[in-house]
Amino acid sequence: MTYNGTFIAFQYSFHMKSAFERMFEEVSTRLVVMNIPPAVVYECRGVNRQRGVVPCGKEQ
């Protein structure tokens, strides 16, 4: 994933929200109630370089 890429995750709880907020600069969530069971879609952008997260194939 590049620094300006988008990571999308489909989860069944808000459990990962704090972890995603540490890893990415911008995290938005959407609750999909039509899914059974209801699911959360996370859309994460901007790898947080200050936290030491380095995308694959890149060096800090």
Judge contact between 34 and 45, C-beta under 8 A: no
pTM (2 decimals)?
0.75
60 domain-assigned: no
Range of the domain at 35: 6-51
pLDDT at 31: 96
**Position of tokens 């990962």?**
16
pLDDT tens profile 16-41: 999 999 989 999 999 999 999 999 99
- The domain total for the chain is 1
16 domain-assigned: yes
1 domain-assigned: no
Backbone angles phi, psi at 22, to 5 degrees: -75, -35
